[in-house]
Structure 1
Amino acid sequence: MSQIQLASSLSKNSEKNTARNLVKLAAFLVVLYIIERDSPAEYEYNYSYLNPLAMTNVPRYKIIEKIVGFPVIQLPKGTFPTLQWLIKVVLSLLKIFINSSLSQNSGLSKAKSFEWTKLFPISNDFGDISEESLKDVVEQLHLNLEKIDKDPEIERQWQELSQQKSAEENLVQIIDNDFKEIQSQIPQEKIDELASTAEKTVLDNLQKIVKYSAKLAEIADANKFSTSDSSVEFSPQSPTLDDYDQQFTIIRKPAIAYNFQQDLIFAYLQVAGPNPMVIEQFQVSDSRLPVTPEQYSQIAAKFGFADSLEAAIADDRLYVADYALLNSLVNGSFISQELEQQKYIATPVALFAVPPADSWSRPLFPVAISYQRTAISTEWVLFTPLDGESWMTAKNIVQMTDSNYHELISHLGRTHLVVEPFIVPTNYLPEDHCVRKLLVPHFEGTVLINYGAHAILVAPGGSVDSLLASSVGGDQAMAAKATQSYLFNFNEISFPQTLANRRVTDVSKLPTYPYRDDGLLIWNAIEIWVRDYFSIYYSNDSAVKNDTDLQTWGSTLVSLQGGRLQNFGDDGQGKFNTINCLVKTISTVIFTASAQHAAVNFSQQEMMYTPAFPLARYLPAPINPQDPESFIKGLPSLSQAQSQIDTLYLLGSVYYTQLGKYSPSAFPNNNQLQAALKKFQDNLQAAETTIKERNRNPDRLMPYEFLLPSQIPQSINI
């Protein structure tokens, strides 16, 4: 009996075997989808994955593991998404490895009989495609790969490679054997059940795609960085922006690549970038930002505005992005092929201003950036737009810090891990309970994705360890701290409240803030829907108070043996006495799982471009505003940049489900409920129209599309 080997090394980011590992992951997911339909696990908490956070326990199939030696996880019932999700993820993985292989001049670039840009029948992402169309895409991709497989150059390289590898090393043979072995463990009735559905053809094609991809991956990794017949040449010691640009072959280069060096774009990212959750109104003087009135007036004039520091302070037109929350992080290191590279984290504070109300235009503009001279120094170094090349470096340091804040706090900590504690008690509610009916669609795929996050992405040797600026232990602790900052104060984290907490609600003072303005449209639509929905089930507050299942749900979430929330419910202790509190709570959960996650997740496609969003810097921050050294010299290497593309494209390219589009079986066929749902969908459509109109306004320097309802999935499923 062959040994299943697919999952080995999945938690490690091997620079040498990138393509191989991506194909392994694709095969692993196909296998998991086939197995998951049998013997699901129970819903229970686990506190060891990212201690002390409450996550859903995901045990292994110990019986199957003993037989085949494969660490297959056992998901609770209904937590693995549908075949449509699987198709989208596998296609993204394949696209990543082809893009990476071509950009690194692997053996694949020698195939002349096929144009790689035509490999995929669809363009850059796999969002708005119907399930039937996706099945056609799978069939066409299978045929395209079959054609590539017959390319004379591919065949020649494969024959040479096959002679060098034993059967135990041959990934194609490993995957073929593993698929057969897995299927032999599935009960016959399950196989018969699958064979009678349209899924069988799609799964067969997916398995063929993975096997063809395995052959290409072996060729790609064996010939990586070949110097002959080079279509893309890199200079690894001193890369240029053009080198980073050429890493995008069949994956489209992000729009930010064309304007990220502009000062107004730098400021605009604070209100419409991947992490528009940091900026807050500047209230008191800050010794870290010793900007003089003369400097301020010169800076304002540089952007075409007549303004004074005194007036800006009096009018509350100053805003700050303060990254002090990252102070506990230490510099990490990247070890590759026995070479250790020092990374550098920083915790800058950046000052921005809005022009006076009577100005011809009122974009947010940058005023100053300041950071500590050294990690333990009390002296801060100030940079302004009046400086030379060092100003660009200071901006790049802010973007690096902002990217780390985004990934650890705004993304992982305050979306993925905030939603997770709700999954276990929600699934223990009676199947027909209104809270369970409403929330379960918003949890689809979250257990699987969060398990992958802690087991692969933020594990030692994973992508976070490799790419982000600090150590993996520090990163894990920071994500946990960010999660607790929300879960320990749940009643204060609704979307409108977070805006109020940062004092950014006044449109007259901060007129251009797409994340705020579009987010409020989505929040209002969700809150109205949730209120209308619960009005069907609870006629008054007493009905809420007397719902024993709901009260058990709340008490479980605040228990130390449960979700470990604090300041939750009407009394802060998990008890629900009013409809208003229930509506606010459920609206917060749904908004976090859908819109908030969409805002921070799909913006990662912009973050693929390393010069604009470096996840670490590899030179100490300059301490002299007149330092002439280019910001490029401190950027991650090209191999690190390629890993950043690979990771962030996968996370930012899979759109599965759409907010407001529930399955027909999600709710009872109740006229009042269906009317409420139709109202929700109409409100979302109106929001879509409004956002598209706003994006045509020149005040939006780049369209903000991350909160278009059509681009918001129902749940955290990637």
Structure 2
Amino acid sequence: MSNKYNWSTNVSPLIGIPMFDNSQSIIDVPAELHPRDEYTDKLNALIQKVNDNMSAYYLSQIKIITEEDHRDINKLCEILSEKYRALFSGDKEVSLKYTDESFFEIASKLDSRLEASDPDLSLYDSQYKIIEKPLSAEFIHDNEFFAYWRLAGSNPGVIKQVNFLPKNFPLTDADYKKVMGPSDSLQSALESNRVYMLDYADLDGAVAEEGFAKPEGGSSGNEIIGYSYKAMALFATHNVTGKFMPVAIQCGQAAEDSNPMFLAIDDDDHRWGWERAKMVVQGADKTHHQLSSHLGLTHLLAEVFAVATIRNFSEAHPLYKLLISHFEGTIRINHNAIVALLGPGQFVDNLMAAELSKLAEKTIEYREKFNFYDNFFPTTLLNRGVTDTKGLPSYPYRDDGLRIWHDINSWVQRYIKIFYKNDAAIKSDRELVNWVNDIIDNGKVDGFIQITTVSQLVDVLTMIIFTCSAQHAAVNFTQRSYMMYTPQMVGTLKFEKPKSLLNNTKAHWLAMLPGSIRALTRIGIYTLLGELHNGYLGEYTYANGKEIFPKGENLEVDAELELFRESLKLTTSFINKRNSDGSRLVPYDTLIPANIPASINI
């Protein structure tokens, strides 16, 4: 076991979560834990793109540009560049609080110079100059797209099939028929596995149902009151068309607590109540995505296996070679960006409504309660009841994810059999035993147990590789397309939930959206998160560019790796066919193998 790398459970604000101990460094993690050099080049290019977009926005919106305006815009770009490089390079000497205050003050000054815009979507649309508007902007107020979001969007692992409605969601058959038509019934849909729900009850403690005030930014002293709720939503597959559609939304857990049942009815009386209810669901989904699906259950989970691997395996060990490229840049991004983004006034604090300490506590809770074996990809699909292709014919995340899982599993199985001929070989491998014990003793992964068989080892390694590659890709690289465009999703609602079915207006819906500065900063961070691709699944190289499995070094490994890459090509063909056959509302390119980085590095 290496004494060079140690654990820490004192990384603020994630106290108690096992992470790499980087307390001795004032700047960055050790150089050997950095991603390849081209990563920085890609990052710098994206930062420049963000700055060019922001500059073009202000120049297009200020009627008469002065020299002072030019200086302010250049200073704004300089501050933003400094902040992003600090986040991703780990320069702890840069004060994020100072850069944020300076950014807000200058941005507010420039905002006061903007021409008045129509109080509608043009406020947000005008911010896309160099950067193109994301996919979701094409489907504003589109119910079918709102439903498809659950199957191929930014948080596709939450929807669950139900055969009965929970008591606190009193949807009637008559209301169901108002949306789905008289030829269907709620009972028939339930019995044929066509009813699915979102339920954000587990956000308890991490929402702001009564509103929570946070500083707007800068030194103005102004505060913004934000709201978020533990929403519930019901969807169903149409019995004739097979389309997956939204049916009803309840904005909180208790129907009697000013939470009427909003239906997907598009008429003048109900349209804006429904749109407001959809935004409540989006706020809950965004909070769950960031705290659980993304940060807690990919980044922080992968950290455990990355630390255990560099602590316990020699570089010549076959499991080190199999795993190490799947951890490229992971420890660095976790310590430099993730921890900083959870700081006061940073990304999570600004974009989520609840108190920051509560958001951090919920992230810790999600990570600690995550059971390793219960969340193998095929198992979690079964547990959520989403394997029935008649009840849910098209589910891109499920369909493509299963292909990737089986590709990885087959490759790992063939690779492991080269080095472990029987179960006894598992027990006699001292480095492997140490690795397992380190995870059990120090990693705090719920349900992780001793590995005693070859088949168990294969499943464990498959889960690790899938999490670091496909699962992270599914929740990270969809952020740009689905979460960037402010009118489609916000985590902090500026106006409270709708409390009655009638008398809701477009003005009420617009009042839920954040101001222009926060919308503009979202474009920046989601461009970086959604466009920085580094490496790909099936590539096995060290961060220095050298091949992990040089051809000719081990002919058996060469043959099995080639089979893996061929299977990924077949999966690519499968996905491309599904994307073009009309079964998907829009193409789902996220899990095309070439689009899946091998590791979590952004």
The normalised TM-score by structure 2 is 0.87
CA shift for structure 1 position 490? 1.1
Partner SS for 2:580: coil
Question: Are residue 102 (structure 1) and residue 56 (structure 2) matched?
Answer: yes
CA spacing shift, 1:610–1:227, aligned 2, 3 Å: closer
CA shift for structure 1 position 400? 1.5
1:669-690 CA distances to partner (integer Å, 9 max, x unpaired)? 2111011111111111111111
Question: Residues of 2 paired with 1:688 and 1:494: CA distance?
Answer: 22
Report % sequence identity.
34
Instruction: Check the 8 A contact 2:409/2:462 in 1, yes or no.
Output: yes
One-letter amino acid of the counterpart of residue 126, structure 2: Q
Query: 1:335-354 maps to which residues of 2 (within 5 A)?
Result: 335-336=215-216, 337-354=220-237
1:393-428 CA distances to partner (integer Å, 9 max, x unpaired)? 111111121111111111001100010011222112
Counterpart in 2 of 1:315? 192
Question: Residues of 1 paired with 2:598 and 2:332: CA distance?
Answer: 15
1:446-490 CA distances to partner (integer Å, 9 max, x unpaired)? 11110124431011121111111212111111111111122xx21
Partner SS for 2:261: strand
CA shift for structure 1 position 526? 0.5
Query: 1:389-538 maps to which residues of 2 (within 5 A)?
Result: 389-428=272-311, 429-486=313-370, 489-538=371-420
CA spacing shift, 1:496–1:692, aligned 2, 3 Å: same
Partner SS for 2:246: strand
One-letter amino acid of the counterpart of residue 558, structure 2: Q
CA spacing shift, 1:249–1:541, aligned 2, 3 Å: same
Question: Residues of 1 paired with 2:583 and 2:549: CA distance?
Answer: 42
1:64-117 CA distances to partner (integer Å, 9 max, x unpaired)? xxxxxxx422x2352111111001111111211221232234899989xxxxxx
Instruction: Check the 8 A contact 1:368/1:383 in 2, yes or no.
Output: yes
Question: Are residue 85 (structure 1) and residue 39 (structure 2) matched?
Answer: yes
Question: Are residue 385 (structure 1) and residue 268 (structure 2) matched?
Answer: no
CA spacing shift, 1:688–1:296, aligned 2, 3 Å: same
Range 694-703 or range 663-672, more displaced: 663-672
Partner SS for 2:248: strand
156, 171, 180: which one pairs with 1:300?
180
Instruction: Check the 8 A contact 1:102/1:109 in 2, yes or no.
Output: no
Higher relative contact order (CA 8 A, sep 6+): 2
Partner SS for 1:319: strand
1:334-378 CA distances to partner (integer Å, 9 max, x unpaired)? 31221111100111110111122xx2x21111111012388x965
CA spacing shift, 1:640–1:396, aligned 2, 3 Å: same
CA spacing shift, 1:680–1:110, aligned 2, 3 Å: farther
- The runs of 5 or more residues in structure 2 that have no matched partner are 86-98
Query: 1:607-618 maps to which residues of 2 (within 5 A)?
Result: 607-618=483-494
Question: Are residue 287 (structure 1) and residue 167 (structure 2) matched?
Answer: yes
CA spacing shift, 1:59–1:248, aligned 2, 3 Å: same
CA shift for structure 1 position 589? 0.6
1:121-167 CA distances to partner (integer Å, 9 max, x unpaired)? xxxxxxxxxxxxxxxxxxxxxxxxxxxxxxxx989956x999xx9xx
Counterpart in 1 of 2:427? 545
Aligned length: 562
Counterpart in 2 of 1:249? 129
Instruction: Check the 8 A contact 1:288/1:370 in 2, yes or no.
Output: no
CA spacing shift, 1:41–1:407, aligned 2, 3 Å: farther
Instruction: Check the 8 A contact 1:288/1:380 in 2, yes or no.
Output: no
25, 34, 48: which one pairs with 2:10?
48
Question: Are residue 324 (structure 1) and residue 201 (structure 2) matched?
Answer: yes
Instruction: Check the 8 A contact 1:106/1:225 in 2, yes or no.
Output: no
Instruction: Check the 8 A contact 1:101/1:108 in 2, yes or no.
Output: no
CA shift for structure 1 position 333? 3.0
Counterpart in 2 of 1:632? 510
One-letter amino acid of the counterpart of residue 347, structure 1: K
CA spacing shift, 1:277–1:346, aligned 2, 3 Å: same
One-letter amino acid of the counterpart of residue 72, structure 1: I
Question: Are residue 621 (structure 1) and residue 497 (structure 2) matched?
Answer: yes
Query: 1:156-235 maps to which residues of 2 (within 5 A)?
Result: 221=106, 225=110, 233-235=115-117
Partner SS for 1:381: coil
Please tell me the root mean square deviation across aligned C-alpha atoms, in Å: 3.1
Instruction: Check the 8 A contact 2:258/2:500 in 1, yes or no.
Output: no
Instruction: Check the 8 A contact 1:381/1:624 in 2, yes or no.
Output: yes
Instruction: Check the 8 A contact 1:531/1:583 in 2, yes or no.
Output: yes
Partner SS for 1:104: helix
CA shift for structure 1 position 565? 2.1
Partner SS for 2:131: coil
Partner SS for 1:365: strand
Partner SS for 1:695: helix
Instruction: Check the 8 A contact 2:51/2:77 in 1, yes or no.
Output: no
Question: Residues of 2 paired with 1:433 and 1:655: CA distance?
Answer: 28
CA shift for structure 1 position 556? 0.7
Instruction: Check the 8 A contact 2:107/2:517 in 1, yes or no.
Output: no
CA shift for structure 1 position 306? 2.4
458, 476, 485: which one pairs with 1:583?
458
Instruction: Check the 8 A contact 2:540/2:548 in 1, yes or no.
Output: yes
Partner SS for 1:225: helix
Partner SS for 2:452: coil
Question: Residues of 2 paired with 1:647 and 1:696: CA distance?
Answer: 31
1:629-654 CA distances to partner (integer Å, 9 max, x unpaired)? 22222111111111211121111110
CA shift for structure 1 position 239? 3.6
Instruction: Check the 8 A contact 2:55/2:73 in 1, yes or no.
Output: no
Question: Are residue 641 (structure 1) and residue 519 (structure 2) matched?
Answer: yes
Counterpart in 2 of 1:276? 156
1:172-198 CA distances to partner (integer Å, 9 max, x unpaired)? 9x99xx9xxxxxxxxxxxxxxxxxxxx
Question: Residues of 2 paired with 1:490 and 1:483: CA distance?
Answer: 10
Instruction: Check the 8 A contact 1:106/1:221 in 2, yes or no.
Output: no
Question: Residues of 2 paired with 1:259 and 1:347: CA distance?
Answer: 25
CA spacing shift, 1:161–1:94, aligned 2, 3 Å: closer
Question: Residues of 2 paired with 1:423 and 1:593: CA distance?
Answer: 10
Partner SS for 2:251: strand
Question: Residues of 2 paired with 1:425 and 1:476: CA distance?
Answer: 24
Counterpart in 2 of 1:72? 27
667, 672, 685: which one pairs with 2:549?
667
Query: 1:13-162 maps to which residues of 2 (within 5 A)?
Result: 42-49=4-11, 50-61=14-25, 71-73=26-28, 75-105=29-59
Partner SS for 1:689: helix
1:484-521 CA distances to partner (integer Å, 9 max, x unpaired)? 122xx212211111111101111121111000000011
Counterpart in 2 of 1:123? none
Partner SS for 1:611: helix
Partner SS for 1:342: strand
One-letter amino acid of the counterpart of residue 619, structure 1: F
1:536-570 CA distances to partner (integer Å, 9 max, x unpaired)? 100111111221211111011010xx2122321xx
Question: Residues of 2 paired with 1:615 and 1:55: CA distance?
Answer: 27
Instruction: Check the 8 A contact 1:598/1:706 in 2, yes or no.
Output: yes
CA spacing shift, 1:476–1:109, aligned 2, 3 Å: farther
CA spacing shift, 1:60–1:551, aligned 2, 3 Å: closer
Partner SS for 1:78: helix
Instruction: Check the 8 A contact 1:41/1:77 in 2, yes or no.
Output: no
Partner SS for 1:660: coil
CA spacing shift, 1:373–1:45, aligned 2, 3 Å: closer
One-letter amino acid of the counterpart of residue 525, structure 1: D
Question: Residues of 2 paired with 1:372 and 1:290: CA distance?
Answer: 12
Question: Residues of 1 paired with 2:48 and 2:109: CA distance?
Answer: 17
